[in-house]
Chains A and B, each alone.
Chain A
Amino acid sequence: MKFLCVPCDTPMRMRSTAESEPGSLSVVYECPECGYEMAMLTNQHETDMVRSLGVRIGPAAAAAIANPGTVEAGEPAASRCPFSAMLGGATQTEAATPSGPEWTPGALARLESIPEMVRPMARAGIEMVARENGHQVIDEAVLADARARFGM
């Protein structure tokens, strides 16, 4: 979908995105020529249409999808997208690990690089291996232990 500023015949640029209310996206466009602004507000069906495509709205999120595995340490890919909770699709509740082992930024980035739907199970398996081996901190070495433990 593209937006055109009719008075100046100039393509409009996305300025910001937000979840204006549950089930509705609010996407603000501006005209780089005259500064005219407009907001697109989606209804629930339109929100579902976007969700069904498995895409993110916004340039930063697009970059995260285009380059899987290049997520910066400590910054989950999904957290960059203001709609991640809405657009995540099929969900499971991530295993709560209030007293679980600590994750190093590198190991966490590795976990965050895999699809959201498999993370809870992967996290639980890795933390189980960490506990079995008496590790308080999960780093790349513990990830390697987990892979070995599960025959990968």
Chain B
Amino acid sequence: MKSYSQIEGDGGSAVAEQIADLEAAIARRMAGIHHVVAVGSGKGGVGKSTLTRQLGAVLAAAGKRVGILDADLNGPSQALLGGVRNVPPLPGEEGLLVPVSRDGLKILSVGSLLAEGEALSWPSASPRHTHVWRATRELAKLAELLAAVHWGPLDVLLVDLPPGPERTAQFADFLGPQAAVVLVSIPSALARGVVARSVSALASLPNRVLGYVENMSGYACAGCGTVRPLFPESHEAAELKLPCLGRVPFDPQLAALSDEGRAITEVAGAGPVAAALAEVARNLIDTLEAP
């Protein structure tokens, strides 16, 4: 009796071919992107999405062509942060065109497709077992979108990852070995421990982990302009054996600006946060372009 590999094709269902075609389509769509940078953490609530959006703004202000892919299909925030929540992706001559923020960032986020407070549904043939295949289906949907989007030439595509160390590694693997990873932490032992787990989860993958950004590294006082500690100093925090790309203080003004979908680059004299983001952007580009 013939074995599996002795039979050419699969009799007509072409499942393997469809997956190969999809991967080829994604590669074609992303061929014009110079750098793909996945921004993850592992820990939720560290300001990763806001940092991603504002880092994109600073890169754009420095003359870079920037896109943001919101890979968090279930908790999308980039549409709101980019001010494109009510802007639909549209069919263009060469593929799906994504909304563009006022400061010129191309943003693909499921948040553009859903009303506020609405969640994607993942119907299943087996209603009590939606959890079994859900992660695979999310990535399949993301792949379908990536195979359709016409990004055009970009210097940097920032990918805002969902939380979870294992998800960070899973998405890095999904994006392929060319995708670099930047991790975001805050100065708390708890957060650094989770980020250290992400570093560990990424260790088996070929993706470059460029370094980490310490977000909320202090409180930027709007009155006196000084930066004060926001978290108590911890001597038990896990050491992240990665280059630090910069430390960004917390500024309530930035939070308000972000909720309005505005970029920090729209505000003149934005202070220590703008300076810190500019440093992160410089270090990121230098690291990406280092031989």
Contacts and interface: CB of A to CB of B under 8 A. Distances in A.
B126 A91 contact: no
B137 A111 contact: no
B126 A122 contact: no
A1 interface: yes
Given A54-B22, A113-B91, A117-B113, A45 B99 contact: no
Contacts of A47: 125-126
A50 B166 CA distance: 23
B104 to A, nearest CB: 10
Interface string A23-63: 11001010000000000000011011111111111110010
Interface in B10-29: 10-15, 17-19, 21-22, 25
Interface in A78-129: 86, 89-92, 110-111, 113-115, 117-118, 120-122, 124-126
Nearest to B110: A117
A47 B126 CA distance: 8
Residue with the highest number of chain B CB atoms closer than 10 Å, among A6, A53, A56, A143: A53
Question: Interface of chain A, helix or strand or loop or mixed?
Answer: mixed
Given A52-B137, A58-B13, A122 B90 contact: yes
Contact of B141 (A45, A62, A117, A120): A117
Contact of A69 (B12, B95, B134, B137): B95
Contacts of B88: 118, 121-122, 124-126, 150
Residue with the highest number of chain B CB atoms closer than 10 Å, among A45, A56, A89, A126: A89
A45 B132 contact: yes
A1 B13 contact: yes
A14 B125 CA distance: 23
Nearest to A29: B11
B17 to A, nearest CB: 6
A91 B35 CA distance: 31
Contacts of B134: 52
A98 B64 CA distance: 44
A151 interface: yes
Given A90-B121, A152-B100, A52 B133 contact: yes
Contacts of A68: 25, 95, 147-148
Interface string B206-222: 00000000000000000
B7 A6 contact: no
A115 B96 contact: yes
A65 B133 CA distance: 21
Given A66-B21, A114-B96, A121-B89, A90 B126 contact: no
A53 B138 CA distance: 10
Interface of A: 1-4, 6, 9, 11-14, 22-24, 27, 29, 44-45, 47-59, 62, 65-66, 68-69, 86, 89-92, 110-111, 113-115, 117-118, 120-122, 124-126, 143, 146-147, 150-152
13 contacts: A11-B9, A14-B13, A44-B124, A44-B129, A48-B125, A52-B140, A57-B13, A57-B15, A62-B18, A117-B144, A147-B90, A147-B97, A152-B98
Given A54-B140, A151-B99, 13 more contacts: A1-B15, A11-B9, A12-B11, A22-B125, A47-B125, A52-B133, A53-B136, A55-B19, A58-B13, A66-B18, A113-B148, A117-B113, A121-B89
